[in-house]
C-alpha cells in the first residue's frame, strides 16, 4: 500500500503518517500540489493520496485527471475546517478525515484501497487446479498469460501470483490496455520526456519504470494496437524501454503478466496480434474457468460478498437461505464474478428477513427475482415482445440501441459490454464516439444513463 501525503508535516499530519506506517503503508510526503505531482511523475507511484485541505484540493484533483493519474484522493483537516471539507468532497475527494487522526478511521480508509478488495476466494476443484498451477510457477520470473471471460477474476489471480513470487515486496503495477486511447497508451507504458508532445509538461515515468523490480500486469492486452506491440516485444526481450521523446534506452527489471478475454491464437491468424509477442507472453498460460463451471465457487463467493457488503453498509450479516443458494447455482452468470458481486450487494440491501432469500436476488433493473415465475413462459413472452419491437426499425437504429442498452447493463464497463456484444473494444469505442456525436447519452463507468 503506497500512500502519498500532501501538506506541511506539522504535529497532526505527522501522527497520521505514523499511524499509516504502523498499518503497513509505505508513505511518501510532498509539501505542495506541485511537489506531489512531481513525485507521481517520477514513478514513485501511489495507491492513495491524502491531502490537507489547507492546500488547493480541487486543483490537485483536476491536475491528477489532466495528467491521467487515476488515484483516489482523501482530504484531511482540523475539525473546524467544515467549509473546506465540503469543498473537497464536492471537488471529488472520496473521504474527509478529521485531524487529529483517528487510528481506526485511517485503518478503514487504507483497507478500502488495499489488497483485501482483491481477495482470492475459491472452493471449486476447477478453480483450485488453476490456483495450484499459479502457485507452482509464481516463484519463477517467466511471463504468464491469464485467460478467461470478462469478470472471472483475472486481475485477482495476477495479484495472487505476485504475492507468491520473489518480487512480493516490490511494486505490483497494473495498466488496462483497453481503457486507454491508443494515442496515449505508449506514453502510459514507457513514459515521456518534457515537451515530447502537446501537454507533456514534464518528464513522466511510465508503468514499466514504475514497476521496476516488481511485476507489471498488462490487462486486456488483446486490445493493444499492433504497432505498439512491436515496441512492447522489444521491451520484454531486451529489458530496456524508450521513453517517448527520449534519446537513450532505460533498463528495467520486471516480470510481465498479461490477461485476455479473447483467443489470442485466433487474433494472430487474423493479423490483430503478433505471433512472436504471444510466444513471449505465454511461457505459462493460466486459464480461469467461467463461474458457471465452478458451482462451489458461486456459493463461496456469494457468502464472501454478503459479509463484505453487510459490513460496508453497517448491517448485520445474514446467511443465504437454501432456496437462494439453489437459485444462485442455477444461474448462468454471464458476467461471472463481477455480476455475482453486484447481485449480492443488491441482495444485502433488499433482504428483509433473517436470511437472504430468493426474493432479494433481483435483476439490475429492479425486475422480479432471479428464479420467479416460469422460466420458459417468460422467455417466450420476452422473445415475442422483442420481435414486435423490431418491426419497422432500421438495422442501424437496432444496433445502436443494443450497444447502448448493453453498456447500460454493464454500468458503463466498456470491456464487459464489448465481450457480451462479441465485438472488439476498439469497435465499441468508435461506435460510442459516433453516437455521442449524434447527441445520444453514453453511460459512464460505474453508472447507467438513467442516473448519469
pLDDT in tens, 396-438: 888 898 898 888 777 788 887 887 888 888 888 889 989 888 8
> How far is residue 23's CA from residue 216's CA, in Å, rounded to a whole number?
25
C-beta neighbour count of 89 within 10 angstroms: 15
> How far is residue 151's CA from residue 440's CA, in Å, rounded to a whole number?
27
Nearest to 99 by CA among 36, 179, 207, 5: 5
Read off the pLDDT of each residue in 205-209 and give the average, rounded to a whole number: 91
In sequence order, which residues have a C-beta less than 8 Å from that of residue 113 and are 6 or more positions away?
Answer: 1, 47, 48, 72
Q: Where in the chain is the domain with CATH 1.10.10.60?
A: 377-437
Residue 384 reports pLDDT greater than 70: no
In sequence order, which residues have a C-beta less than 8 Å from that of residue 371 and are 6 or more positions away?
Answer: 323, 326, 327, 330, 358, 361
Q: Where in the chain is the domain with CATH 1.10.8.60?
A: 291-360
Query: Residue 146's pLDDT band (boundaries 50, 70, 90)?
Result: very high
In sequence order, which residues have a C-beta less than 8 Å from that of residue 264 and are 6 or more positions away?
Answer: 145, 147, 222, 273, 278, 282
Q: Where in the chain is the domain with CATH 3.40.50.300?
A: 128-287
Burial 286-325 (b: 16+ CB within 10 A, else e): bebbbbeebeebbbbbbbbbbebbbeeeeeeebebbeebb
The CATH number for 291-360, chosen from 1.10.8.60, 1.10.20.60, 3.30.870.10, 1.10.3720.10, is: 1.10.8.60
Which cell is 235 given? 521491451
Query: Residue 369's pLDDT band (boundaries 50, 70, 90)?
Result: low
CATH number of 2-117: 3.40.50.2300
Burial 387-424 (b: 16+ CB within 10 A, else e): eeeeeeeeeeeeebeebbebbbbbbbbbbbbbbbbeeb
Residues 264-294: tens digit of each pLDDT: 999 999 999 999 999 999 999 999 999 999 9
Return the pLDDT at 392: 65
CATH fold, domain 128-287, is Rossmann fold (3.40.50)
Residues 158-203: tens digit of each pLDDT: 999 999 999 998 999 999 998 888 778 998 899 888 877 777 777 8
Nearest to 97 by CA among 115, 81, 112, 111: 81
CA angle 66, 428, 198 (to 5 degrees): 25
Which cell is 116 given? 483485501
> How far is residue 86's CA from residue 355's CA, in Å, rounded to a whole number?
38
- Note the helical H segments in 331-424: 336-350, 375-390, 395-409, 414-421
Which pTM does this prediction carry?
A: 0.66
Whether the upstream peptide bond of residue 238 has omega within 30° of 0, thus cis, is no
Task: Assess contact for 252 and 239: CB atoms under 8 A.
Answer: yes
Return the pLDDT at 80: 66
More confident residue, 5 or 216: 216
Residues 215-246: tens digit of each pLDDT: 999 999 999 999 899 999 999 999 999 988 88
Q: Where in the chain is the domain with CATH 3.40.50.2300?
A: 2-117
CATH number of 377-437: 1.10.10.60
Which of left, alpha, beta for 186 (phi over 0: left; psi -120 to 50: alpha)? Answer: alpha
Task: Assess contact for 88 and 50: CB atoms under 8 A.
Answer: no
Residue 11 reports pLDDT greater than 70: no
Nearest to 192 by CA among 175, 209, 213: 209
3-class DSSP state of 183: helix
Amino acid at each position: 500500500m503506497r500512500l502519498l501525503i500532501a501538506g506541511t508535516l506539522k504535529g497532526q499530519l505527522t501522527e497520521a503518517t505514523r499511524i499509516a506506517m504502523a498499518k503497513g503503508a509505505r508513505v511518501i510526503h510532498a509539501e505542495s500540489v506541485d511537489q506531489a505531482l512531481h513525485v507521481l511523475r517520477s514513478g514513485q507511484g501511489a495507491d492513495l493520496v491524502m491531502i490537507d485541505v489547507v492546500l488547493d484540493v480541487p486543483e490537485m484533483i483536476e491536475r491528477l485527471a489532466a495528467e491521467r493519474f487515476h488515484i483516489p484522493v482523501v482530504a484531511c483537516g482540523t475539525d473546524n475546517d467544515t467549509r473546506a471539507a465540503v469543498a473537497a468532497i464536492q471537488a471529488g475527494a472520496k473521504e474527509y478525515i478529521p485531524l487529529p487522526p483517528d487510528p481506526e478511521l485511517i485503518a478503514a480508509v487504507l483497507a478500502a484501497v488495499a489488497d483485501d478488495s482483491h481477495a482470492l476466494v475459491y472452493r471449486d476443484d476447477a478453480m483450485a487446479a488453476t490456483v495450484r498451477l499459479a502457485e507452482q510457477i509464481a516463484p519463477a520470473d517467466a511471463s504468464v498469460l491469464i485467460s478467461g471471460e470478462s469478470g472471472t477474476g483475472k486481475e485477482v489471480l495476477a495479484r495472487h501470483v505476485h504475492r507468491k513470487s520473489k518480487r512480493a515486496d516490490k511494486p505490483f503495477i497494473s495498466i488496462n490496455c483497453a481503457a486507454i486511447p491508443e494515442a496515449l497508451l505508449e506514453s502510459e507504458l514507457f513514459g515521456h520526456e518534457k515537451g515530447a508532445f502537446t501537454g507533456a509538461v514534464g518528464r513522466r515515468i511510465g508503468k514499466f519504470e514504475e514497476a521496476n523490480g516488481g511485476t507489471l500486469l498488462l490487462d486486456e492486452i488483446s486490445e493493444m494496437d499492433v504497432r505498439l506491440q512491436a515496441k512492447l516485444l522489444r521491451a520484454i526481450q531486451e529489458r530496456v524501454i524508450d521513453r517517448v521523446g527520449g534519446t537513450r534506452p532505460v533498463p528495467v527489471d520486471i516480470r510481465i503478466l498479461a490477461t485476455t478475454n479473447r483467443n489470442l491464437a485466433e487474433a494472430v491468424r487474423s493479423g490483430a496480434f503478433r505471433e512472436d509477442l504471444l510466444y513471449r507472453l505465454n511461457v505459462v498460460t493460466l486459464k480461469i474457468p467461467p463461474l458457471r463451471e465452478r458451482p462451489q465457487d458461486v456459493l463461496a463467493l456469494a457468502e464472501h460478498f454478503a459479509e463484505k457488503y453487510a459490513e460496508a453498509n453497517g448491517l448485520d450479516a445474514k446467511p443465504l437461505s437454501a432456496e437462494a443458494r439453489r437459485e444462485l447455482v442455477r444461474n448462468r452468470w454471464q458476467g461471472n464474478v463481477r455480476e455475482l458481486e453486484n447481485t449480492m450487494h443488491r441482495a444485502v440491501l433488499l433482504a428483509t428477513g433473517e436470511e437472504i432469500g430468493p426474493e432479494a436476488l433481483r435483476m439490475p433493473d429492479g425486475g422480479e427475482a432471479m428464479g420467479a415465475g416460469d422460466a420458459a413462459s417468460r422467455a417466450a413472452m420476452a422473445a415475442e415482445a422483442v420481435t414486435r419491437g423490431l418491426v419497422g426499425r432500421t438495422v442501424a437504429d437496432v444496433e445502436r440501441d443494443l450497444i447502448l442498452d448493453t453498456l447500460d447493463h454493464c454500468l458503463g464497463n466498456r470491456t464487459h459490454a464489448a465481450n457480451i456484444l462479441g465485438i472488439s473494444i476498439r469497435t465499441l469505442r468508435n461506435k460510442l464516439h459516433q453516437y455521442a456525436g449524434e447527441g445520444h447519452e453514453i453511460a459512464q463507468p460505474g453508472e447507467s444513463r438513467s442516473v448519469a
